[in-house]
Structure 1
Amino acid sequence: MTLGTRSTLVQQVISRLSEQIAAGEWPVGSKIPTEPQLVEILGVGRNTVREAVRALTHAGVLEGVQGSGTYVRSTDELTGVVARKFGAADVGHTIEVRRALEVEAARLAALRRTPDDLARLDAALAARDVAWATGDTDVFVEADADLHVAVVAAAHNPMLAELYASVLAAIKASVAVAVGPAMLAGTHIDHAQIVAAIRDGDPDRAAREAGRFLEAPARA
């Protein structure tokens, strides 16, 4: 087998494993089959499987746990890489990246929102308020993320949506830390004005409102 052929085969195995992970065959947090099992499933050699798994581990999609096996840590390479970068990043830098994405998303959403987008935003905003009232941090973090995802979706830019999805897990983690388990009243920030500006079709105001709550590192 030539080097080129071997490299191509490894890429094919990487692609197949990535597709199976993305399809949910092995959910995030679950353990993938053992190396011998993968050899049988994929019909390739042990070294090819080993190289493919190593590549996906380096990309942050998989993680080997000594004495236990290899686990799925993300559903795609971009998410894995970004999550790893965000996890090690300075808080201020993380907020700057959020601001860059979310401010532009809000601005575009004000220009491009549809009636369906507005309905989704209203529902997400209401759900976020209800989630805060529960006092459950995990519930609130999910509801907060849903609202921001709805804003990004209303921007109707597939590349922006994909990039935001890749950092969403890291953003949720930062929000959970900022809110804290006590969910004190002083840490809550109303997002109604962001939605109102998008509804009014005012891109400058939407961008300003989206950026306002990201000025302070302690706020989510």
Structure 2
Amino acid sequence: MPLATTRRTGLVDQVIGQLRAAISDGEWPVGQRIPTEAALAETLGVSRNTVREAVRALAHGGLLEVRQGDGTYVRATSEVSGAIRRLCGSELRDILQVRRGLEVEGARLAAAARTEEDLRQLTELLAARQRAQEAREFDDFVRADTEFHLAVVQSGHNELLTELYRGITEAVIASVAATSHDHLTEQVHIGHDGLLAAIAGRDPGRAAAEAGGFLDQLLVREESESPRPTP
């Protein structure tokens, strides 16, 4: 991991910055245990107390999770993602509802603002999703589906909306994985050809309806399979 020896001023903030960069750049992926406190202190040339404070700050922000007796693990790639994960927890319906709010508006904007390059990328990602589904390649399907939805939001060219959506990346991946098995066993087929056609045809209303429609299907299934307890 390319960590550099820190200067002697603002050490905690410097260590926080370097650890955050290692997480956001993918050096430490979500779910991985980071090096020990002693190893980080030696690599960075700081005291273990400095490392401990930095780790505590990142754990408070939701990026790291300290497991007593086991180590410290990467929990999210950004503070926004960490906050969303804390809010959503493991409730699939919560994640799907948040996705619906962001993706419907993202699709509406994409239909109005997409470029030819955006359209080319969306077409390629949807083709990759289809190939993975036909080959029943679970990991490839989850990756292609997740990338397609992010590309739709990016095609709206609203930087704030895109950053908000990036912030729930881990939650989106988890929801796609949780709802993808039926796609691959052909019990359920939820395609995105209509969404792509609406974006290509610059039809914001139809794009929003297509984006909301498939998520509504997933939400109905989730509600029927896991009803929320009565208060």
- Common topology (TM > 0.5): yes
Question: What are the Cα deviations for residues 174-194 of structure 1, in whole angstroms up to 9, with x where unaligned?
Answer: 222223367342421111011
1:150-189 equivalence runs, <5 A: 150-180=151-181, 183-189=184-190
Question: What are the Cα deviations for residues 20-65 of structure 1, in whole angstroms up to 9, with x where unaligned?
Answer: 3323443434332322232233333332221111121232322234
For 2:33 and 2:97, how far apart are their aligned partners in 1?
A: 34
CA contact (8 A) 1:141 1:176 kept: yes
1:82-121 equivalence runs, <5 A: 82-89=84-91, 91-121=92-122
Structure 2 regions of 5+ residues with no counterpart? 1-9, 223-231
* TM-score w.r.t. length of structure 2: 0.81
Amino acid paired to 1:196:
A
Which residue of the partner structure matches residue 62 of structure 2?
A: 60
CA contact (8 A) 1:62 1:71 kept: yes
Which residue of the partner structure matches residue 3 of structure 1?
A: none
Counterparts in 2 of 1:140 and 1:52: CA distance versus 1, 3 Å: same
1:72-87 equivalence runs, <5 A: 72-87=74-89
1:133-144 equivalence runs, <5 A: 133-144=134-145
Tell me if 1:34 matches 2:42. no
Compare 199-208 and 180-189 and name the one that shifted more.
180-189
Compare 200-209 and 161-170 and name the one that shifted more.
161-170
For 2:182 and 2:203, how far apart are their aligned partners in 1?
A: 35
1:215 alignment partner, SS class: helix
RMSD between aligned residues: 2.3
For 1:107 and 1:48, how far apart are their aligned partners in 2?
A: 47
Amino acid paired to 1:131:
A
Q: How many residues align?
A: 212
Question: What are the Cα deviations for residues 85-140 of structure 1, in whole angstroms up to 9, with x where unaligned?
Answer: 33334x43322211110000000001111110111111111111111111233222
* TM-score w.r.t. length of structure 1: 0.85
For 2:126 and 2:116, how far apart are their aligned partners in 1?
A: 15
For 1:59 and 1:150, how far apart are their aligned partners in 2?
A: 27
Tell me if 1:71 matches 2:55. no
Amino acid paired to 1:71:
Y
CA contact (8 A) 1:114 1:154 kept: yes
Identity within the alignment, %: 51
